[in-house]
Amino acid sequence: MLPSRTQGACLRLPACLAADHRQTRAVNVLVTAGPTREPIDPVRFLSNRSSGKMGYELAAAFQHAGHTVLLVSGPTALDVPDGVDFLPVETAAEMHEAVSHHITRMDIAAFAAAVADYTPAAVAAEKIKKSAGTLTLELVKTPDILGSAREEMKFTGTLVGFAAETENLLAHARGKLVRKGCDLIIANDISQPGIGFDSNHNEVTLVYPDHDAPLPRASKHDLAHQLVQAILEIHLSRTAC
């Protein structure tokens, strides 16, 4: 007999049976990936050191597990994974608009993009010419896309952020978890050589509300499959009752 709800109570089945039953149900997943580009003039932009590999592997792993995936990505040199819906964007504002438009129909949203935190206050219409001395740019904050998912976008699904830190990794990641209303933060120590930005490998710590779980160094491909399992477990426990 399948699990059923009775007057708000959650019937407890053996965990393996409940998980097997529920994991076969496809869910809608939004993944952000890659850098954003913030134009300065027609030939220059500000950006971040992200290849998009981690986010694309995550999107492919969710798709491989049978889920429906929308990948919202800044500019990368990567091929779109087979079977994944793709929405290319350039700037943080465009990524914010794309996520706002689609997130409410999602069950899970995972934000692997390295979004520029600042953008030029004004974009020069013509190429800025070289002159002697220094050039000062006025920058303004971009929208915090992950940070606006709960309050502004009213997203009630499973919310996963990444944190890329050079110091105090776990403290900063935990701060983001709480401030941005996430169920999980995937914390990268980007001070370590050979992992993080651009590399084919990564080593992360899963930061949950009540504990941390370090994962060993692995290819981004293999790690993405572990991350999908961890995220789906959270999603199942959030939707269990």
Catalytic residue list: 48
Computed from CA positions of residues 121, 173, 193, 54, in that sequence, does the dihedral angle turn out positive or negative? negative
- 110 forms beta bridges with 31, 160
Among the listed ranges 8-16, 132-140, 190-198, 227-235, the one in contact with ligand PMT (CB under 6 A) is: 190-198
Q: Which of residues 87-106 bind ligand PMT (CB under 6 A)?
A: 92
d(C-alpha 112, C-alpha 16), whole Å: 30
Among residues 31, 46, 71, 145, the one that binds ligand PMT under rule CB under 6 A:
145
Tokens of residue 3, six digits: 């699990």
State which residue, 43 or 140, has the beta carbon closest to ligand PMT.
Answer: 140
Two structure tokens written together for 53: 């590999």
Write down the least CB distance from residue 239 to ligand PMT, Å.
22
Q: How far apart are CA 8 and CA 188, in angstroms?
A: 39
Asked if residue 74 binds ligand PMT (CB under 6 A), the reply is no
Among 144, 212, 222, 233, binds ligand PMT (CB under 6 A): 144
Task: Check residue 163 for interaction with ligand PMT (CB under 6 A).
Answer: yes
DSSP 198: S
Select from 9-17, 23-31, 191-199, 205-213 the region that touches ligand PMT (CB under 6 A). 191-199
Q: How far from 204 is each of 162, 187, 193, 222, 234, CA to CA, in Å?
A: 9, 5, 13, 12, 17
How far, in Å, CA of 177 to CA of 171, rounded?
10
Compare residues 63 and 188 and give the one whose CB is closer to ligand PMT.
188
Q: Is 30 in the site for ligand PMT (CB under 6 A)?
A: no
Among positions 67, 176, 225, 235, the unique one binding ligand PMT when judged by CB under 6 A: 176
Nearer to ligand PMT, 37 or 53 (CB): 53
212-214: strand order across its sheet: 85-88, 68-73, 28-33, 108-111, 158-165, 184-189, 204-207, 212-214
Residues in contact with ligand PMT, counted by CB under 6 A, come to a total of 26
Among 91, 119, 142, 158, binds ligand PMT (CB under 6 A): 142
Q: Which of 84, 164, 169, 227 binds ligand PMT (CB under 6 A)?
A: 164
Q: Is 157 in the site for ligand PMT (CB under 6 A)?
A: no
Which residues in 199-238 contact ligand PMT (CB under 6 A)? Answer: none
List the structure tokens of 62. 């969710």
Contacts of 172 (CB under 8 A, 6+ apart): 163, 165, 187
Give the residues lining the site for ligand PMT (CB under 6 A).
32, 50-54, 92, 111-115, 117, 142, 144-146, 161-164, 176, 188, 196-198
